Amino acid sequence: MNIDSIKDGYVIDHIQAGKGMQIYEILKLNELDCQVAIITNAKSEKTGKKDIIKIDKNIDINLEKLGFIDHNITINIVKNDKIIEKRRLNLPDKIVNVAKCNNPRCITSIEKDLDQIFILTDKEKEVYRCKYCEMSLKNKNY
């Protein structure tokens, strides 16, 4: 298999195997007018398998969303065919408009223009709670 290198853009690496398409959809990469490559089930020394996404364009990437979906992701920033920076993601302490509260009694269900805000309350179990009603959300359910 031959996938061209990218000149300027991003390589989203160490994606949990099987989550590449989910990230592709969440970041709306189908709306870009550049080359995007999704590699699934690539060999990984750490995890056995991983997904990789290559984007041949400099775009705004929502690191908050990516960190919430899979905080083990690495973002490689490429300029002039060389990786100039590597960013490792973490679980964000707070997420805004990334997930929706499922509590039908939450104020966010009534007030449509209100931001959906979740606060990380248990880093070890990756549990977030709605800022308004305290409903829990595990990021594995996203």
> For residue range 12-50, what is the model confidence (pLDDT) as tens digits?
999 999 999 989 988 889 999 999 999 999 998 888 999
H or E segment and range at residue 53: strand 48-55
Per the listing, tokens 């179990």 go with: 125
CA distance 121 to 106: 18
CA distance 137 to 53: 27
Q: Hey, is 111 helix, strand or coil?
A: coil
CA distance 53 to 140: 20
CA distance 26 to 121: 24
Per the listing, tokens 């991983």 go with: 50
Reported confidence tier of residue 140, pLDDT bands at 50, 70, 90: low
Answer yes or no: is pLDDT of 3 > 80: no
pTM for the model stands at: 0.80
Domain boundaries, the chain: 9-88, 94-141
User: Are the beta carbons of 118 and 129 closer than 8 angstroms?
Assistant: yes
pLDDT at residue 48 in the model: 92
pLDDT at residue 1 in the model: 61
**For residue 63, which of 10, 116, 18 has the smallest C-alpha distance?**
10
Q: Hey, is 137 helix, strand or coil?
A: strand
pLDDT at residue 139 in the model: 61
User: Are the beta carbons of 83 and 77 closer than 8 angstroms?
Assistant: yes
- How much is the average pLDDT of 90-106? 92
Reported confidence tier of residue 138, pLDDT bands at 50, 70, 90: confident
- What CATH number does the domain located at 94-141 have? 2.30.30
Answer yes or no: is pLDDT of 125 > 70: yes
Answer yes or no: is pLDDT of 141 > 70: no
Reported confidence tier of residue 8, pLDDT bands at 50, 70, 90: very high
pLDDT at residue 76 in the model: 95
CA distance 108 to 133: 9
pLDDT at residue 75 in the model: 95
Helix residue ranges, H only, the chain: 20-26, 63-69, 107-110
Does the domain made of 9-88 have the CATH classification 3.40.50.12780? no
